[in-house]
């Protein structure tokens, strides 16, 4: 099973776009899906499209690369590509997974991509051909893993990561991604977001109260104020 990684290049210099596009073209599982030439254009594209990896320059007009990272904490996996070494600490503090100095050789690019693949979740939803059940597929430590949707108790946000709690595992699975990304895939009627940090499987609810739910594993999950009406309508 092979996933394709959608890549967005964000840089104000055309030669940088050409160099990165050339490197991307050498991979069958990488797709050059967009190009932005300043931070404002990049923000618009990130808000309107789904990308898996972004290559981000630091010194750009209007909005710098660091500012963009601060404005988009749940952005796709970020590989910084810059001519300046001064911003490495800030980049890593904002969860960049690698920091490449221009000119970027293919060898350095290759190592950054392997690192990105290791961290990337690649969450998607599909039908199990044999059991006719829905499964989530994602990358974990470089491997593609599947989890039956019916086994998931709840999903918790953890910054740029999410935790999947399942009846089949003692410990949660931590993968790169966000609740907003997984919500796009979860059109299953049994899953509801009840808090900005939680999505729950309604089939795994043990008991309810006015401000929280208790799940089948004993976890008490708070109900966000703006989600209370949605939850009330669901049970009604």
Radius of gyration of the chain (CA): 20
Of the candidates 24, 44, 33, the residue with the CA atom closest to the CA atom of residue 6: 33
**Among residues 62, 96, 119, which one ends one of the domains?**
119
Residues 90, 187, single domain; the answer is no
Q: Tokens 């939850």 — which residue? A: 231
pLDDT tens, position by position, 106-121: 999 999 998 887 766 5
What residue numbers bound the domain in which 82 lies? 5-119
**Phi, psi (rounded to 5 degrees) for 16:** -65, -40
Whether 143 and 228 map to the same domain: the answer is yes
Q: Which two tokens stand for residue 213?
A: 């739910």
Same domain, 89 and 135: no
Q: What is the pLDDT of residues 140-192, one digit of tens each?
A: 655 667 788 889 999 998 766 788 999 988 888 877 677 776 776 676 668 89
Q: Indicate the range of 3-12, 68-77, 128-137, 163-172 predicted with least confidence.
A: 128-137
Residue that terminates a domain, selected from 87, 119, 151:
119
Of 4 and 206, the structure prediction assigns the larger pLDDT to 206
Contact 25/32 with Cβ under 8 angstroms? yes
CATH number of the CATH domain containing 138: 2.40.50.1020
pLDDT reading at 29 higher than 90: no
**Is the predicted pLDDT of residue 2 greater than 60, yes or no?**
no
- Average predicted confidence (pLDDT) for the chain: 86
Using 50, 70 and 90 to split pLDDT, how confident is the model at 230? confident
Write down the pLDDT at residue 61.
87
Shared domain check, 129 and 115: no
Single out the residue in 65, 97, 119 at which a domain terminates: 119
- Number of structural domains (the chain) is 2
Q: How much is the average pLDDT of 39-49?
A: 91
């Amino acid at each position: 099973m092979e996933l394709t990684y959608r890549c967005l290049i964000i840089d104000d210099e055309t030669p940088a776009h050409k160099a990165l596009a050339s490197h991307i073209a050498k991979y069958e599982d990488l797709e050059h899906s967009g190009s932005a030439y300043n931070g404002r254009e990049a923000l618009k594209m990130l808000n309107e499209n789904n990308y898996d990896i972004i290559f981000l320059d630091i010194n750009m007009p209007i909005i710098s690369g660091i500012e963009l990272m601060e404005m988009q904490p749940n952005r796709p996996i970020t590989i910084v590509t810059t001519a300046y070494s001064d911003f490495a600490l800030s980049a890593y503090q904002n969860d960049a997974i690698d920091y490449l100095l221009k000119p970027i050789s293919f060898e350095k690019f290759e190592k950054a991509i392997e690192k990105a693949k290791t961290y990337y979740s690649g969450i998607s939803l599909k039908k199990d051909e044999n059991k006719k059940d829905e499964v989530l597929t994602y990358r974990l430590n470089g491997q593609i893993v599947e989890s039956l949707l019916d086994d998931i108790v709840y999903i918790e946000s953890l910054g740029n990561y999410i935790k999947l709690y399942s009846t089949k595992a003692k410990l949660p699975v931590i993968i790169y991604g966000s609740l907003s990304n997984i919500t796009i895939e979860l059109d299953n009627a049994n899953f509801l977001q009840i808090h900005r940090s939680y999505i729950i499987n309604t089939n795994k609810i043990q008991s309810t109260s006015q401000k929280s739910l208790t799940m089948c594993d004993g976890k008490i999950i708070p109900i966000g104020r703006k989600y209370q009406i949605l939850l009330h309508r669901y049970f009604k």
